[in-house]
Structure 1
Amino acid sequence: MGCWALLGSLALPACQTTPAERPDTLVNLATVQSGPRVQADELNGAIAREPRNTALLARRATLRLAAGQPRAALADVVAALQIDDADAGLYFLQARAFRALGQLPDALAAARQAADRGFTGPELPLMVGETHLAARNYAAALDNLDRTLRLDPDQPAALFYKGLAYAATADTSTAVQYLQDALARNPREPEILHQLAFLLNAWRIPADAARYAALGLRLDTASGLLHYDYGRHLELQGQPDSALWYYRRALALDTTVYRADYRLGLAAAKARRPAVIIQHLTRALRRNPRLPQARALLAEALETQNRLPEAIAQYRLLVAENPGNPHWTFKVWKIGGKAQALLPDSLRPAPRNYYRRPAPVRPLPIAPLPTLTPSAR
């Protein structure tokens, strides 16, 4: 350090007595802890000293929600409500915790308690609308989202959820309009871009879908859903090989993208690769048991691979889903017989003995009547 750093200060004599400089030490960022979970833990001491401070409990609950710890957050809220059951904000926090746990009726009940106690912020109808959306109660969802937009007309989350609600009711054009409005207010949100790309692909407008998917991938290169969206646009535009690469990449990033499994399973069916069909469609059907043609393709692939017990299980599900269908009923009978034939004698069920009506007993022929002899008189 030189005297230029102290120019104009009153400590001018310090220039002659500057201590020896110490080398800079880089901080190991791996050891630096931050984030909502750590911040929540840092409140433990303060709450231990003031266990009846509801503001501290509410603060820790909020941080725990942000850290993905809804059960711990709910415990804090319950403790705070035992101290002060008239605080509307605590009921809203409780509703958020229930929603994070997937307990939708409890979340709506807590939200009503918050409203009854005077909570008036737009975040309350927004949360209620999203909860109704998750419960597939679309009319109630739209009502609450409209209420949110009356309080905050530029709320992108409300516009986004309205788009999802209209998409769920098959009003795709209105859904796209609301999603575009949400994107205009929050242009760097990958989830909005994914939903737009997905809907436009479903609406068979792949060129527009590609634009949104590409923008989303620039913002979030690790999104499995956006990789699927981009692959789907390629498939719709006649580039199946490139699409398959994106589907595989989507699954490498996120194994829950079951639509990528489904598309890979359909492609394997065209290429007559039963082992690959089984791999992808088994996983896809666990996520969505109603995928078109998926169960039939899986059952036939299992039969081809001689995995007969698994095949008959799928054929029985097809019979349950298509009652009265003679083809699947015949398959259950046919494969069931084959599967039993493969079992060892000790495991093979005994032959069924069906009741048969006994054969009628023929009556004995009528014996000839004895001849009558005249009696002597």
Structure 2
Amino acid sequence: MGLAACHSEPAERPDTLVNLATVQSGPRVQADELNGALAREPRNKALLARRATLRLAASQPRAALTDIEAALEIDDADSRLYFLQARAFRALNQLQSALAAARQAAEYGYSGPELPLLVGETHLAAHNYAAALDNLDRTLRLDPNQPAALFYKGLAYAATADTTTAVQYLQDALAQDPREPEILHQLAFLLNAWRLPNDAARYAALGMKLDTTSGLLCYDYGRQLELRGSQDSALWYYRRALALDTTVYRADYRLGLAAAKARQPVAVIQHISRALRRNARLPQARALLAENLEAQHRLKEALAHYRLLVAENPGNTHWTFKVWKTSELVQAQLPDSLRTTPRYYYRQPWTPPKRKPALPAPPLPQQRG
């Protein structure tokens, strides 16, 4: 169904080695099998479109674009080619180009529900939620039980903080496609955020049965355990989530918070710094990182984060003081030739010597007459 295209989390997965000798067919192999036919008929539009479709399925959008452009040189009024072009641009995250190609597909008569679904999902990726909902509603008018449209409507409402409506649409999507792990992840994630861990646990557990390699679902299951007070078990699932998928930055964040409570500065630095690389706006994360770097005497790194905290919180006297104090400590560690500010040595202020009070003059001797 391709639900992960607009997922709010990074969609990377660790590379998996596949024994190509056991793969008798598949999009990439089938695309390569068309090379000979196209060498004989290089201007066969149908073959070019077929190979482009297979290359999209094989996650080769740039190669697909090459075939699509060659086919458009043969026939620039084929709506299906523009739809394929929109899909390729979307796969490359070129959102405006994808929308432009989709408009051309519509102008030349493409009328299937796939087109407004693609447009709606692309607007969702661009955070244009009103346009996304309009196109997803158009999709559902053409295909009322389209699970992807229901799913993306759920994501759109979640992004606008309408959690109740979001959960309803995600549950409707799950009813149409009950074995889709991505729907189960989003439901578990939202219900955890809504502080309903018992319901979240049910969806996360089912999702882990369907996809044993999902780091996101492991995180969801760990989060509901934490919300229910099972801290040690939650930390195990967070570590498992990172073992499966290093991009699950929320697991790093939760492990960093736990390390801060346990006064483990090295672990705090390791987890929080990785989490911030994925999301720079995590609550309290940068402050924790800066303070633990300072505690470990990594002053230059701490100073860089304190400066970012000042930029994020203008007028905050605490972070301004931290920048001044840490900057002074960094400068004090440098030799004079490398200092950017002059070194001031303490000198005891001069005080004039105290004068003894003047003694009264001795009396003059009396003269005898």
- TM-score bucket of the superposed structures, by smaller chain: 0.7 to 0.9
2-structure distance, mates of 1:344, 1:263: 40
**TM superposition shift of 1:352:** 8.0
2-structure distance, mates of 1:270, 1:227: 22
- Structure exhibiting the larger radius of gyration computed from Cα positions: 1
Q: Percent identity?
A: 83
Determine which of 97, 114, 119 is the counterpart of 1:106. Answer: 97
1-structure distance, mates of 2:73, 2:100: 17
Higher relative contact order (CA 8 A, sep 6+): 2
Determine the structure 2 residue equivalent to 1:148: 139
**Residues 310-345 of structure 1: per-residue CA shift (max 9 Å, x gap):** 000000000000000000000000000101111234
Determine the structure 1 residue equivalent to 2:351: none
Matched, 1:200 2:191: yes
Residues 1:180 and 1:350: Cα distance change in structure 2 (over 3 Å): closer
SS at match of 2:338: coil
Q: Is the 8 Å Cα contact of residues 331 and 341 (structure 2) preserved in structure 1? A: no
Determine the structure 2 residue equivalent to 1:295: 286
**TM superposition shift of 1:347:** 2.1
2-structure distance, mates of 1:350, 1:287: 35
SS at match of 1:200: helix
1-structure distance, mates of 2:142, 2:86: 20
Determine which of 171, 175, 200 is the counterpart of 1:180. Answer: 171
Residues 1:305 and 1:29: Cα distance change in structure 2 (over 3 Å): closer
2-structure distance, mates of 1:106, 1:272: 49
Determine the structure 2 residue equivalent to 1:358: none
Determine the structure 1 residue equivalent to 2:60: 69
Matched, 1:278 2:275: no
Q: What are structure 2's unaligned runs of at least 5 residues? A: 1-18, 345-369
Matched, 1:262 2:243: no
**TM superposition shift of 1:61:** 0.6
Q: Letter of the aligned partner of 2:213 in structure 1?
A: A
**TM superposition shift of 1:205:** 0.3
Determine the structure 1 residue equivalent to 2:360: none
Residues 1:287 and 1:29: Cα distance change in structure 2 (over 3 Å): closer
Residues 1:330 and 1:60: Cα distance change in structure 2 (over 3 Å): same
2-structure distance, mates of 1:295, 1:242: 26
Determine the structure 2 residue equivalent to 1:39: 30
Matched, 1:307 2:307: no
Q: Letter of the aligned partner of 2:271 in structure 1?
A: H
Determine the structure 1 residue equivalent to 2:366: none
SS at match of 1:280: helix
Determine the structure 1 residue equivalent to 2:49: 58
- Counterparts of 1:244-263 in structure 2, within 5 Å, are 244-263=235-254
Q: TM-score, normalised by structure 1?
A: 0.85
Determine which of 323, 328, 333 is the counterpart of 1:332. Answer: 323
Q: Letter of the aligned partner of 2:120 in structure 1?
A: G
Q: Is the 8 Å Cα contact of residues 221 and 237 (structure 2) preserved in structure 1? A: yes
Determine the structure 2 residue equivalent to 1:237: 228
Matched, 1:161 2:156: no
1-structure distance, mates of 2:83, 2:190: 33
Q: Is the 8 Å Cα contact of residues 79 and 106 (structure 2) preserved in structure 1? A: yes
Determine the structure 1 residue equivalent to 2:81: 90
**TM superposition shift of 1:31:** 4.5
2-structure distance, mates of 1:61, 1:246: 40
**TM superposition shift of 1:348:** 2.3
**Residues 9-28 of structure 1: per-residue CA shift (max 9 Å, x gap):** xxxxxxxxxxxxxxxxxxx9
1-structure distance, mates of 2:260, 2:20: 49
**TM superposition shift of 1:29:** 8.1
1-structure distance, mates of 2:38, 2:201: 51
Determine which of 315, 323, 326 is the counterpart of 2:314. Answer: 323
Matched, 1:225 2:216: yes
Q: Is the 8 Å Cα contact of residues 52 and 64 (structure 2) preserved in structure 1? A: yes
Q: Is the 8 Å Cα contact of residues 241 and 248 (structure 2) preserved in structure 1? A: yes
Q: Is the 8 Å Cα contact of residues 238 and 251 (structure 2) preserved in structure 1? A: yes
Determine the structure 1 residue equivalent to 2:162: 171
Residues 1:290 and 1:331: Cα distance change in structure 2 (over 3 Å): same
Q: What are structure 1's unaligned runs of at least 5 residues? A: 1-27, 354-377
**TM superposition shift of 1:32:** 4.1
2-structure distance, mates of 1:284, 1:350: 34
Q: Letter of the aligned partner of 1:164 in structure 2?
A: L
Number of residues paired by the alignment?
326
Q: TM-score, normalised by structure 2?
A: 0.87
Q: Letter of the aligned partner of 1:215 in structure 2?
A: L
**Residues 136-168 of structure 1: per-residue CA shift (max 9 Å, x gap):** 000000000000000000100000000000000
SS at match of 1:346: helix
1-structure distance, mates of 2:56, 2:251: 31
